[in-house]
Amino acid sequence: MAEEKQNKNTTTKAGVRLVKRVILGKNKPPVIIRALAWFTMVWSFILAILSALLAVYALIHEDRMNKIEGINGLGFNFFISYAILHLLAIFSGVLLYRMKKFGFYLFAACSVLISILPYTMISGVGFEPLMLIFGLIFLGLWATQFKKLS
């Protein structure tokens, strides 16, 4: 019985190592790039899941979403667009972990689009500098590591 558990545990660990190597590659980047990439992937994963759930809610309760005063356009299309952009940001985090310059360009594009999406799709939304500032700070952190990317 104990031998079966040990074999299953070993198989599971081997599977996790394989998935990690396929997604992240075999070379470890410097600590700062690793930290930024993991933060990018985790943060974008959380926001992608949240956006997808809100898209489903907006699809199911479309009548409630239309009754929100002062905000028109906050619905399925907005949330699904937001979720897709965050999925692309996860992919850019993987590329940045692998130290690819294309990951930086993709992350920059996603950051800009995520920052301007509310203003283009939702009428009645005022300017919110916090989201823009956060995106610019993060882009600046990645820009400091640009020379290390290939």
* Per-residue pLDDT tens over the stretch 79-108: 888 899 999 999 998 888 888 889 889 988
47 or 149: whose pLDDT is higher? Answer: 47
Among residues 113, 55, 121, 120, the alpha carbon closest in space to that of 83 is found at: 55
Tell me phi and psi for residue 126, to 5 degrees.
-85, 170
Tokens standing for residue 67: 């009754």
- pLDDT tens, residue by residue, 32-53: 888 888 888 899 999 999 989 8
Q: Residue written as tokens 């930024």?
A: 36
Tokens standing for residue 87: 């999925």
Return mean pLDDT, the chain.
79
Mean pLDDT to the nearest integer, 103-120: 85
> b/e string for 72-82 if b means 16 or more Cβ within 10 A?
eebbbebbbbb
Q: Is residue 106 part of a domain?
A: yes
Q: Is residue 41 part of a domain?
A: yes
Q: Is residue 128 part of a domain?
A: yes
Q: Is residue 2 part of a domain?
A: no
Q: Domain of 38?
A: 28-148
- pLDDT tens, residue by residue, 49-74: 998 988 888 788 777 666 665 556 57
Q: Is residue 13 part of a domain?
A: no
Question: Is residue 129 very low, low, confident or very high in pLDDT (cuts 50, 70, 90)?
Answer: confident
pLDDT at 76: 78
Q: How many domains does the chain have?
A: 1
Q: Is residue 10 part of a domain?
A: no
Q: Is residue 90 part of a domain?
A: yes
3-state secondary structure 98-147: CCCHHHHHHHHHHHHHHHHHHHHHCECCCCCHHHHHHHHHHHHHHHHCHH
pLDDT at 88: 93
